[in-house]
Amino acid sequence: SISLESIAEQFDVTPAYVSILFKREMGENISSYLANLRINEAKRLLEQTDMKVSDISEQVGIYSQTTFIRLFKKSCGLTPNEYRKAHKSR
Protein backbone atom coordinates (compact mmCIF):
# COMPACT_ATOMS: atom_id res chain seq x y z
CA SER A 1 0.00 0.00 0.00
CA ILE A 2 1.54 3.26 -1.14
CA SER A 3 0.28 6.57 0.15
CA LEU A 4 1.43 10.14 0.42
CA GLU A 5 1.78 9.66 4.16
CA SER A 6 3.90 6.51 3.83
CA ILE A 7 6.23 8.20 1.35
CA ALA A 8 6.58 11.26 3.60
CA GLU A 9 7.30 9.04 6.59
CA GLN A 10 9.97 7.14 4.64
CA PHE A 11 11.85 10.38 3.94
CA ASP A 12 11.03 12.03 7.27
CA VAL A 13 9.26 15.00 5.68
CA THR A 14 5.68 16.24 5.72
CA PRO A 15 3.05 14.92 3.31
CA ALA A 16 2.51 18.48 2.05
CA TYR A 17 6.20 18.77 1.14
CA VAL A 18 6.16 15.45 -0.72
CA SER A 19 3.03 16.54 -2.56
CA ILE A 20 4.56 19.84 -3.68
CA LEU A 21 7.82 18.21 -4.84
CA PHE A 22 6.03 15.40 -6.62
CA LYS A 23 3.71 17.71 -8.51
CA ARG A 24 6.60 19.99 -9.47
CA GLU A 25 8.71 17.11 -10.81
CA MET A 26 6.02 14.87 -12.32
CA GLY A 27 3.42 17.40 -13.43
CA GLU A 28 0.57 15.63 -11.66
CA ASN A 29 -0.40 14.86 -8.11
CA ILE A 30 0.67 11.62 -6.49
CA SER A 31 -2.82 10.14 -6.27
CA SER A 32 -3.36 10.57 -10.03
CA TYR A 33 0.07 9.11 -10.75
CA LEU A 34 -0.59 6.06 -8.57
CA ALA A 35 -4.05 5.58 -10.06
CA ASN A 36 -2.53 5.58 -13.57
CA LEU A 37 0.11 3.04 -12.52
CA ARG A 38 -2.57 0.80 -11.04
CA ILE A 39 -4.81 1.04 -14.10
CA ASN A 40 -1.91 0.32 -16.47
CA GLU A 41 -0.98 -2.78 -14.49
CA ALA A 42 -4.64 -3.83 -14.44
CA LYS A 43 -4.78 -3.49 -18.24
CA ARG A 44 -1.70 -5.70 -18.56
CA LEU A 45 -3.23 -8.33 -16.27
CA LEU A 46 -6.55 -8.23 -18.14
CA GLU A 47 -4.73 -8.76 -21.44
CA GLN A 48 -2.28 -11.43 -20.32
CA THR A 49 -4.03 -13.46 -17.63
CA ASP A 50 -7.35 -15.09 -16.85
CA MET A 51 -7.44 -13.61 -13.34
CA LYS A 52 -10.85 -12.53 -12.07
CA VAL A 53 -11.49 -8.78 -12.11
CA SER A 54 -11.85 -8.80 -8.31
CA ASP A 55 -8.41 -10.44 -7.97
CA ILE A 56 -6.86 -7.94 -10.38
CA SER A 57 -8.40 -5.09 -8.42
CA GLU A 58 -6.76 -6.33 -5.23
CA GLN A 59 -3.48 -7.14 -7.00
CA VAL A 60 -3.12 -3.52 -8.13
CA GLY A 61 -4.02 -2.13 -4.71
CA ILE A 62 -7.64 -1.06 -5.20
CA TYR A 63 -9.57 -3.10 -2.65
CA SER A 64 -13.06 -1.92 -3.55
CA GLN A 65 -14.19 -3.57 -6.77
CA THR A 66 -16.77 -0.79 -7.29
CA THR A 67 -14.05 1.86 -7.04
CA PHE A 68 -11.79 -0.16 -9.33
CA ILE A 69 -14.46 -0.49 -12.04
CA ARG A 70 -15.34 3.23 -11.77
CA LEU A 71 -11.69 4.33 -12.03
CA PHE A 72 -11.00 1.87 -14.84
CA LYS A 73 -13.99 3.02 -16.88
CA LYS A 74 -13.10 6.68 -16.30
CA SER A 75 -9.56 6.02 -17.53
CA CYS A 76 -10.26 3.66 -20.43
CA GLY A 77 -13.86 4.28 -21.42
CA LEU A 78 -14.60 0.58 -20.92
CA THR A 79 -15.31 -1.65 -17.96
CA PRO A 80 -12.54 -4.13 -17.14
CA ASN A 81 -14.51 -6.99 -18.72
CA GLU A 82 -15.17 -4.97 -21.88
CA TYR A 83 -11.48 -4.06 -22.03
CA ARG A 84 -10.47 -7.72 -21.66
CA LYS A 85 -12.76 -8.80 -24.49
CA ALA A 86 -11.39 -6.09 -26.77
CA HIS A 87 -7.69 -6.58 -25.92
CA LYS A 88 -7.13 -10.17 -24.79
CA SER A 89 -3.95 -11.70 -26.24
CA ARG A 90 -4.75 -14.84 -28.21
| pLDDT cut 70: percent of the chain above it | 98
Residue 49's pLDDT is 95
Helix (H, G, I), strand (E, B) or coil at 23: helix
Position 89 pLDDT exceeds 80: no
Q: How far apart are CA 84 and CA 32, in angstroms?
A: 23
pLDDT digits (tens, 9 = 90+) for 29-63: 998 999 999 999 999 999 999 999 999 999 999 99
pLDDT level of residue 2 (50, 70, 90 thresholds):
confident
pTM (predicted TM-score): 0.84
Sign of CA dihedral 58, 62, 66, 68: negative
